[in-house]
Chains A and B, each alone.
Chain A
Amino acid sequence: MSLIGIRNVSKSFEGTGLVVPPLDLSIPAGQFISFLGPSGCGKSTLLRLIAGLETPDTGLIEGVSGLKVSFVFQDAMLLPWRTALENVRLPLELENTAKDDIDKRAREALKRVGLQDAFDRKPSQLSGGMKMRVSLARALVTNPLILLLDEPFAALDEITRFRLQEDLLRFWKGSAAQSGSIASPMTVIFVTHSMSEAAFLAERQIVFSNRPARVIADRQSTLESARAVDRGRQTRQSIEFLNDVSALQDLFRETGSDQPVASL
């Protein structure tokens, strides 16, 4: 089984200093993993390093280059002059997909996120939650092997956030079924500062300290395999879920990482 290997990777920026200390991490293919840490701790930088948007000062990242990667930003980051459908078409256009395929696949992806009635709307005519759905469709339309999400739901209201979390899990499960070959389910790396979000979504949670982002804990979720069951209201009210959230809280308290970050 292939995996993403982060080997001795570090990164510092002028002004902020060390953001990612030398770090080792292995992520098996198909895993839903979340990077959890306080705001500004460097977890987003680590995600950008994995995406290849930043180059590490030391070390290397294995198992990403050459694979189809999609990235979802905190704000939906849609092109305001393109309709929902045209936004979803974009990655296919950029990757030179056959013209006949583009439209069909973009429509399917928008239907999958429940926006079959909003094909021709511009982003200015969509709600925050709908914009994020378009953004998810844009990320999924290429059938990526690696899906990277940088606090995608942080700016949404709680009800919308819960629904999108459940949808995201569904898409992830669907990817394994859809790909046919068991060898290529979608690996998801989800960056968040919300403990309940990390507990609800991820099979495995990496907990980071304040900047520079050291790994405080690398823990498996105690919830039943996310792949096996449909998660929803019952999961959020389950004892296991609440225990997981408080376990994460304790980790931050014990290491003092619940203290505010020194100024950026």
Chain B
Amino acid sequence: MMTLAAPLAPLLFGSFILEFLVRSKFVPSYILPAPSEIAISLYTDRFEYLMGFFATAKAALIGLVLSFVAGTSAALLLSLSPWLRKAFLPYATFFQTVPIIAIAPVLVIWFGFGPPTVIASSFIVSLFPIIANSMLGLQSAEPRLLDLFRIHRASRLATLWKLQLPAALPAIFSGLRIASGLAVIGAIVGEFIAGGGLGEVVDAARTQQRLDKVFAAVFLSSFLGLFLVVLIDFISRRMLRSWYADESAEQRP
């Protein structure tokens, strides 16, 4: 109960202050909409928001899954040989530094308006943390366990599959956690240019000077990011726990 109450308190308190500032005409509502206006907008245009929310969620999830598959496979390939790593790792950094807002119009030229561009944008932004964390995880195996594999003449592939990959799981999950927030940002940016989802809601409301709608959509998109992070946390905790110990026993004899 406390876990939910604690973060809700500042939200309520902050909303109360904002509401007071706007109602007392201290801040005009075209600069900052009152929380009550945002709430009313969320309710009256609820179908528009709901459709936008699910469109963005779908694109971000697909982008995240794609970058998870591509990122972990790339990391596995790169750890097979130091030469491959040296040759290709610098290019992975491209995905970290690429200014997505500048690339998005190009994506439209390649993929057209609509979901494919949004998914691509989400994919590009969320790929790097997955590659970087997976690489780090794959190299974090205990040296003496690597010795054990050497003594039993394990092949490179067996070492990767039976030691390095399982040892990398916690790092891979933490990469996925970072990537999940970025995937939502990538999707919103993509939607700014290519249309659809909450990104389009924000963009359209902005041009109509409807700040209440802008804030409502922004609120929903950060809620989406938060939801994804919590979801990943939940899955990873469940998986890692059953990975390292059986549910049945907490006791250590």
**B-binding residues in A (CB < 8 A):** 48, 51-53, 69-71, 73, 75, 77, 79-81, 90-91, 93-95, 120-122, 124-127, 130, 142
Q: Contact between B152 and A81 (Cβ–Cβ < 8 Å)?
A: no
- A125 and B251 alpha carbons, distance in the complex (Å): 7
Q: Contact between A125 and B147 (Cβ–Cβ < 8 Å)?
A: no
Q: Would you call B45 an interface residue if the criterion is a C-beta within 8 Å of the partner chain's C-beta atoms?
A: no
- A215 and B179 alpha carbons, distance in the complex (Å): 57
Residues of B contacting A75 with CB < 8 Å? 144
Min Cβ gap B177→A in Å is 20
A-B contact count (CB 8 A): 64
Interface residues on B, range: 20 to 34
**A-binding residues in B (CB < 8 A):** 142, 144-145, 147-154, 158, 162-163, 166, 169, 243-246, 249, 251-253
Q: Contact between B154 and A130 (Cβ–Cβ < 8 Å)?
A: no
Known: A73-B147, A79-B163, A81-B166. 18 other contacts (CB 8 A): A52-B151, A70-B151, A75-B144, A81-B243, A91-B152, A93-B158, A93-B162, A94-B149, A94-B152, A94-B162, A95-B152, A95-B153, A122-B246, A124-B245, A125-B245, A125-B246, A125-B252, A127-B253
- A105 and B15 alpha carbons, distance in the complex (Å): 67
Min Cβ gap B100→A in Å is 36
Closest to B155 in A: A94
With contact pairs A77-B145, A130-B253 given, residues A90 and B162 touching in the complex (Cβ less than 8 Å): yes
Min Cβ gap A69→B in Å is 6
Closest to A126 in B: B253
Q: Contact between B149 and A125 (Cβ–Cβ < 8 Å)?
A: no
- A53 and B151 alpha carbons, distance in the complex (Å): 8
- A79 and B147 alpha carbons, distance in the complex (Å): 13
Residues of A contacting B166 with CB < 8 Å? 79, 81
Contact partner of A122 (CB less than 8 A), chosen from B150, B151, B245, B251, is B245
Residues of B contacting A121 with CB < 8 Å? 246, 249
Q: Contact between A124 and B151 (Cβ–Cβ < 8 Å)?
A: no
- A142 and B154 alpha carbons, distance in the complex (Å): 14
With contact pairs A94-B152, A94-B158, A95-B152 given, residues A53 and B147 touching in the complex (Cβ less than 8 Å): yes
Residues of A contacting B158 with CB < 8 Å? 93-94
With contact pairs A53-B151, A94-B153, A94-B158 given, residues A124 and B163 touching in the complex (Cβ less than 8 Å): no
Residues of A contacting B243 with CB < 8 Å? 81
Min Cβ gap A166→B in Å is 21
User: Could you list some 23 contacts between A and B, CB below 8 A?
Assistant: A48-B147, A51-B147, A51-B151, A52-B151, A53-B151, A77-B142, A77-B144, A77-B148, A79-B162, A81-B166, A81-B169, A90-B152, A90-B162, A91-B152, A95-B152, A95-B153, A120-B246, A124-B245, A124-B252, A125-B251, A125-B253, A126-B252, A126-B253
Closest to A72 in B: B148
Residues of B contacting A48 with CB < 8 Å? 147
4 residue pairs, one from A and one from B, having the closest CB atoms = A94-B152, A124-B245, A94-B154, A91-B152
Contact partner of A80 (CB less than 8 A), chosen from B149, B154, B244, B251, is B244
Residues of A contacting B152 with CB < 8 Å? 90-91, 94-95, 142
Closest to A118 in B: B253
Contact partner of B144 (CB less than 8 A), chosen from A73, A80, A81, is A73
Residues of A contacting B245 with CB < 8 Å? 122, 124-125
Min Cβ gap B163→A in Å is 7
Closest to B151 in A: A71
Closest to A92 in B: B152
Min Cβ gap A82→B in Å is 8
Q: Contact between B153 and A125 (Cβ–Cβ < 8 Å)?
A: no
Closest to B169 in A: A81
Residues of B contacting A69 with CB < 8 Å? 151
